[in-house]
Amino acid sequence: MPVDDDSGERATELEGAEALDAVDTALVIEIADVRRALARLEAGTYGLCVGCGQPIGARRLAASPTAAKCIDCQRALI
């Protein structure tokens, strides 16, 4: 079956579009996480686990400032 000269280019474009869609989705999720963290900050509950109400560890918040759950509650989801 003959292959169109542009087929490789189209495949590359499709792969690029799929990669951009994945990045777009990841950014939408990250922005939503930031907005929720800001809402918790405004409510005075930032740094408290939404699962158990206990403080989220400082190291966890430093690594993931948008974390809404402590390690124990997050692990319980897995």
- Digit-coded pLDDT (tens) for 30-47: 999 999 999 999 999 999
CATH architecture, domain 7-76: Up-down Bundle (1.20)
pLDDT < 70 regions, the chain: 1-5
Cα–Cα distance for residue pair 2/43, rounded to 1 Å: 63
DSSP 16: H
Instruction: Check residue 45 and give its pLDDT.
Output: 98
Could you state, in order of their start, the residue ranges of all structural domains in the chain? 7-76
Which of 77, 53, 78, 57 minimizes the C-alpha distance to 67? Answer: 57
Can you name the residues that pair with 55 across neighbouring β-strands?
Answer: 48
Instruction: Check residue 16 and give its pLDDT.
Output: 78
